[in-house]
Structure 1
Amino acid sequence: MGPKRQPTLDEVAARAGVSRSAASRVINNARHVSQAKRDAVERAVAELGFVPNPTARALATQQVGAVVLALSHHDPAQFTDPFFAQIILGVNAELEKTDLELLLVLANTTQGQARLQRILKSRRADGVMLMALRGDDPLAALADRHDVPVVFGGRPLHAEPRWYVDADNRGGSRLATEHLIGLGRRHIAVITGHMDTDAGASRHRGYLDAMAVAGLSPSRVEHGDFTESSGAAAMTRLLAAYPEVDAVVAGSDAMAAGALRALKAHGRSVPGDIAVVGFDDLLTALHTDPQLTTVHQPIHGLGREMAKMLLSLIAGEEPHPLVLPTRLVRRASA
């Protein structure tokens, strides 16, 4: 009799019910593989008598054990914004299942972008998550210049990356506008966020969709930057230009809170005179007066799914882009 045939890696993966790349990572003692997959592969290895190749083990373990969450924004204070705080918590919740460390990088300046480029060029990170890209941000081309997995949090405005996690911004804004139309409001204004972001542009399109179906004029538009102060300023301009306004769709809870403050200052009642709907469903929505009707997007879930997608890429798998659903949360403001 000749020597016993060695089982292949494909046979181990099939026995364990995992991808070939996941089986390879477990066998070669690489990081960031779920415990369930690790257990399944180890059972298959024992049952089949598989012996790993030492060279393959050396290649598979060339991981540095860190991933980057990079924020491209002109205001460093955005890292303390409740939205980004929830994103970070979601990312961290998923990474806690692994040995990976999380590096936070502000890539809003030339120096910050150069620092991120150095991290990637020297392979000091196994993957990157990019947030808050605006316009033709050079970071959008990051995936094409480095052999490092890149996951986008929200789609860039002028690109369609292979891997991203986003919320249904357009559908959520359409829901908000349809809700106001259903309440009998006909002079509905919109306060947009940054129009050089996909979130800002998509939420405006959702408003336009609903207004078009209802045959209503979508001309009452003012622009903000997702902050409370910009919402207050935009609401003041709307009142001056369109005194007949009876409802407002704001592109974020922060801007909606600013709009409520401006309406109170001008003696308008909410929702009696003007109904207001926000977008995000942050804690802010519970602390406004009145409490804010808003569109809920799963912000914590966005962070978790970004990290999950990146871990899948690092493990050699091929995940699909993901758009998470949004829903309307009714409270007292509309």
Structure 2
Amino acid sequence: MSPQAAAQTAPGLQAALDGRAHLVVSPGGDADIAFVSRDVTGLSTKHELLPHTLAFHDALRNAPSLRWVHAHSAGADRPVYGELRARGVEVTTSSGANASVVVQTALAGVLMLARQFPQLLAAQRVHAWSPLLGSGLPRDLAGQTAVIVGWGPIGQGLGALLSALGLRIVCVRGSEAPAAAPAHESLSYERLHTVLPRADWLLLACPLSERTRGLVGAAALARMPAGARLVNVSRGEVVDEPALIDALRGGALSGAYLDVFAHEPLSADSPLWDLPNVIVTPHTAGHSDGNEARVAGIFLDNLQRWMRGEPLLNRVA
């Protein structure tokens, strides 16, 4: 682990190891266990790695004794984790640590789009007094339908808040089995297309997998009703980005809040930056000053489980 992570986990590390002798190794040495903390990733993306992140990933690749890696993120779609899993290394994530923060951000995106804030903020920038009375009143949220793709901690949290605002919720998940919240309609990823004609809102909160990669393409977007909007806080690769741009430009979609993109950082020449009906944020939906402690807590909990030979939480299958 990094020196910062060693300092963060020091109070609980000895207890989690049940007093067993151990050595904390800086990146570059062999290790049995690795903790990839937020400071290791820093400003790197999975597409463009800064030198310190690449050095840590190379240390993981070159550690012959490595048996388990815990990641600070909720997802494990960075290439290094696939490589490690292929050689038999256990990989676990910190799913849930930032879920409430992502839910708040996604809800903010919904409310800003619903209340036409992109239009209002554009008017503010040019000092124009432009009440919505002159451009069409926003629709009431109550009675609209939100299709939420992904029914983990983020999807469920978002579903609860949107339901409280009066929206009908349809959850799309990995299983055909009914969701834990029986009041909500539930179906599998493969049946998403059947509910899109009813989707006033399509909210993406699913992990990236072979089942979800490219799930929302041109055909899916074309099935959505006029005035529909999209929110993506999952992974950019879930959406066909050129098709999304076409739908937003042509008016097939009324707007989008996007925190993730097919390539990150988003290119400066991407049309998404300047589309008047789009809110872009730089993969920051889950950032908050309390995450570090929550992630460390999940790692230490799993470390206790590891020492006792118990199943690990958030194991990547």
Please give the TM-score of this superposition, normalised by the length of structure 1. Answer: 0.40
Greater C-alpha Rg = 1
Q: TM-score, normalised by structure 2?
A: 0.42
